[in-house]
Structure 1
Amino acid sequence: MSVWNAIVGQKPTVELLSRIADDPADVAQSWLICGPPGSGRSNVARAFAAALECPSHGCGECTTCRHVLANTHPDVTVLATDKVTIGIDAVRGLIETSEQMPATAPWRIIIIEDVDRMLERTTNVLLKEIEEPAEHTIWLLCAPSAQDVLPTIRSRTRVVTLAVPSQKAVADFLMTTVNPTLPENRRFTDHVAVRAARLSEGHIGIARLYATNERVMTDRDTLIVGVLGLVKASDAVLLADHLISDATAQAAEEVERQVSRDRAEFRRVNGLGEKDRIPPKIRGAYNAIGKKEEVKRRTTRRSRDVLDRALNSVASVYRDVAVLQNHAENTVGLINKENRTAIADLASRLSREAAIERAEAVGVARRRLSGNGNPLLVFEALFCSLIA
């Protein structure tokens, strides 16, 4: 087993980075790993870090590899955020860490996910370290594209650009890597894997979610049918209300599961059984895992992720409309094959200009949502604009 086994559809990049890890004498010390959402850029960064630290250059089985991939290695630091921006204090802390000698491994490696979320003044704090890293430090920055970061960052890093994984690569990953980890009563069929890969449009995390969570897949189907059935404003209002309620419920369930996992891990690390009492000395840390304010913040963030996924699904309808209007189905295929009849009917009723306007309306909704617009009002306005 190799650390690269979980990297989907990125053969050229894997070959490049594994070759460098095998002989890292002249390795670049500042990297920018770019790829669209779901392409696995953060996973590539972790795999590269593991391969650089591993005595066997990424065997995937040694203690070093396991700790790096689990974010528990003392010489590999990962900065991830579920906030809108990465704060300047967090980056200053990373810079202090980067100056320290590695404790057990050849390199001190710093991974920053979503470096595009840095404000310019925060990026300026990072620039000198990226340009002249400490001799023992490697920086791995991740962003959707090179254009999403400041030119000063691009010019100081070696850029690696990931591809959108093919549907076949994603479906194969689901069947060979995800399915075997599930209990037998929760395993999915080839058909489900292929459909999940198609509907995810190359997003590995979403494909995994569709394949393993029947409710999420069903909710997507309901949304597509609702969009295709919009006739009057009341339809739009009802669909928006249903979507927001569903997003909140999904987010609450996800956060509750994560809190349960975090508490179980806390007990394991501290040598406690499932029913053991929490000692007073660590009770505060344990209770902080499910702190009400933190759960509320995480639920809000997760609900925004669900709504962003919904926007992608809505956009896929008008992508399919454009495919049919341009007679390109045999070339690029449809995403929403199950709804082909309704999409073909919509394509016949909309002009090309009207289809483009509706696709652009999805982009407007995305910007309003990212600008902290009221989700219910954002989707009511969007669905009203989609009525044919």
Structure 2
Amino acid sequence: MSVWDSIVGQQPVVSQLSAIAAGDPAAIAQSWLICGPPGSGRSNVAKAFAAALESPDHGLGDEPTRAAHLVLAGTHPDVTVLSTDKVTIGIDEVRELIGMSEQMPSISPWRIIIIEDVDRMLERTTNVLLKEIEEPAEHTIWLLCAPSAQDVLPTIRSRTRIVNLAVPSNAAVTRFLEQHDGVDPALASRAARLAEGHIGIARLYAGNDQVLADRDELVVGVLGMHRASDAVLLAGRLTDSAKTQAQSDVDRQAQQDEREFRRVNGLGEKDRIPPKLRSAYHAISKKDDLKRRATRRTRDVLDRALTTVASVYRDVAVIQNNADDAVGLINLENRTAITELSVRLTRRDAVRRLEDIATARRRLAGNGNPLLVFEALFCALLV
């Protein structure tokens, strides 16, 4: 098992970064932008690259070294990962990273800072980061992650070395689910197909029956809409479900954070929090932070729903263009209803509906009211 074993369907990139990690340290670029569509594994690639850079064997051994294990576990003292479950990355968080980047590494060759979803930074926050990206400290490497180079400011793009990831194939995702997670082959194949190359969503579908059932229900609901009342009811069910799922996820994470805080500080489940620890304890469950997490999680659930809806009209277009044998259907279980819909719609109608879905995605990203966005979308999809 090497540091790269968790990377799915990215062999060219793995070969490239593996060779760089094993090369001359003086020739290694110190600012990177790792780009890939959601679910392509860009954060995992950044962590594996960091593990190879910090490891004495440069990640070439059959088994990860202790340094590599620490990086992959998120406990290496010289590797910092900034991830966020909020809508944006705050300027104070970035300033803290910059201060850390100036420090010498403690046990390894490099101080490495990974920023996931750098596209979530506002422009003024990105500008604070810019100088450090342009002139990093001598022993610091920055690994930034984003869906694409176009999602970050041109000033960042021009000062980083860009690595582009591919969408993993269904076969590669299926193998990963079977070998890494022990998923039944039939379920692994279906989860990979429905996830459309998104590894995280494939694992979610394979491991959560309710999420998979919700997806099936949404597809059936879209295909069964005939009146405006159907569209309005479906939009209401979807947004209510997204909020409930998001709040449940946030509450569960807050409970896990509390348990971890108690464990780290040697406190039992019912022990009182000592006065000197109370401010840190309350910081993990601040109402404003929990609200922002719930908002971000709701958006993620609704964004996944839009991808599901788009897959229906993608399948319609595939059938209309006789491309089934070449690229296959995503929603195989709904082939009959999708075929019937492909007859009722023209090719232009199918394309317009995909454009309507893209418009809804932009409205959500612009803080549009989710219920109104989906009501408008589903009404626009009616035949």
The TM-score normalised by the length of structure 2 is 0.94
Q: 1:11: Cα distance to partner?
A: 0.6
Secondary structure at the residue paired with 2:114? strand
The residue type paired with residue 82 of structure 1 is D
Q: Does 1:89 align with 2:84?
A: no
2:18 paired residue number: 18
Q: Does 1:313 align with 2:308?
A: yes
| Contact 2:87 2:295 (8 Å CA) reproduced | no
Q: Does 1:29 align with 2:54?
A: no
| Contact 1:75 1:107 (8 Å CA) reproduced | yes
1:327 paired residue number: 322
Q: 1:114: Cα distance to partner?
A: 1.7
| Contact 1:49 1:68 (8 Å CA) reproduced | yes
C-alpha distance after superposition, 1:30-62 (max 9, x if no partner): 111110011011111111111111222236644
Question: 249, 253, 268: which is aligned to 1:254?
Answer: 249
C-alpha distance after superposition, 1:74-128 (max 9, x if no partner): 2112222333333333333322221111111110111111222333333333333
Query: Which aligned pairs between 1:55-94 and structure 2 lie closer than 5 A?
Result: 55-58=56-59, 61-94=64-97
Taking a change above 3 Å as real, the CA distance of residues 282 and 123 of structure 1, as seen in their structure-2 partners, is closer
Q: 1:273: Cα distance to partner?
A: 4.5
- The 10-residue stretch of structure 1 (375-384 or 52-61) with the greater mean CA deviation from structure 2: 52-61
C-alpha distance after superposition, 1:116-142 (max 9, x if no partner): 233333333333322222111111111
Secondary structure at the residue paired with 1:320? helix
- The 10-residue stretch of structure 1 (238-247 or 71-80) with the greater mean CA deviation from structure 2: 71-80
Secondary structure at the residue paired with 1:156? coil
Q: Does 1:271 align with 2:274?
A: no
C-alpha distance after superposition, 1:229-263 (max 9, x if no partner): 01001100110111011111211221222123222
Q: Does 1:104 align with 2:107?
A: yes
1:183 paired residue number: none
1:221 paired residue number: 216
1:185 paired residue number: none
Taking a change above 3 Å as real, the CA distance of residues 289 and 92 of structure 1, as seen in their structure-2 partners, is closer
The residue type paired with residue 16 of structure 2 is L
> 1:173 and 1:266 mapped to 2: Cα distance?
33
> 1:98 and 1:284 mapped to 2: Cα distance?
26
C-alpha distance after superposition, 1:275-308 (max 9, x if no partner): 5554443344334433443323212221111000
- The 10-residue stretch of structure 1 (54-63 or 221-230) with the greater mean CA deviation from structure 2: 54-63
The residue type paired with residue 136 of structure 1 is H
Q: Which runs of 5+ in 2 are unaligned?
A: none
- The 10-residue stretch of structure 1 (286-295 or 317-326) with the greater mean CA deviation from structure 2: 286-295
Moved over 6 A (4+): none
Q: 1:68: Cα distance to partner?
A: 1.7
Taking a change above 3 Å as real, the CA distance of residues 128 and 281 of structure 1, as seen in their structure-2 partners, is closer
The residue type paired with residue 188 of structure 2 is A
| Contact 2:86 2:293 (8 Å CA) reproduced | no
1:39 paired residue number: 40
Question: 350, 356, 375: which is aligned to 2:345?
Answer: 350
| Contact 2:53 2:110 (8 Å CA) reproduced | yes
2:122 paired residue number: 119
> 1:225 and 1:234 mapped to 2: Cα distance?
16
2:136 paired residue number: 133
The residue type paired with residue 34 of structure 1 is C
> 1:283 and 1:90 mapped to 2: Cα distance?
22
> 1:95 and 1:285 mapped to 2: Cα distance?
22
The residue type paired with residue 100 of structure 2 is T
Secondary structure at the residue paired with 1:142? strand
> 1:268 and 1:22 mapped to 2: Cα distance?
38
Q: 1:274: Cα distance to partner?
A: 4.7
| Contact 2:87 2:292 (8 Å CA) reproduced | no
1:7 paired residue number: 7
The TM-score normalised by the length of structure 1 is 0.93
Taking a change above 3 Å as real, the CA distance of residues 153 and 290 of structure 1, as seen in their structure-2 partners, is closer
Secondary structure at the residue paired with 1:7? coil
Q: Does 1:369 align with 2:364?
A: yes
1:201 paired residue number: 196
1:49 paired residue number: 50
| Contact 2:87 2:293 (8 Å CA) reproduced | no
The alignment of Structure 1 onto Structure 2 pairs a total of residues equal to 380
2:331 paired residue number: 336
The residue type paired with residue 124 of structure 1 is N
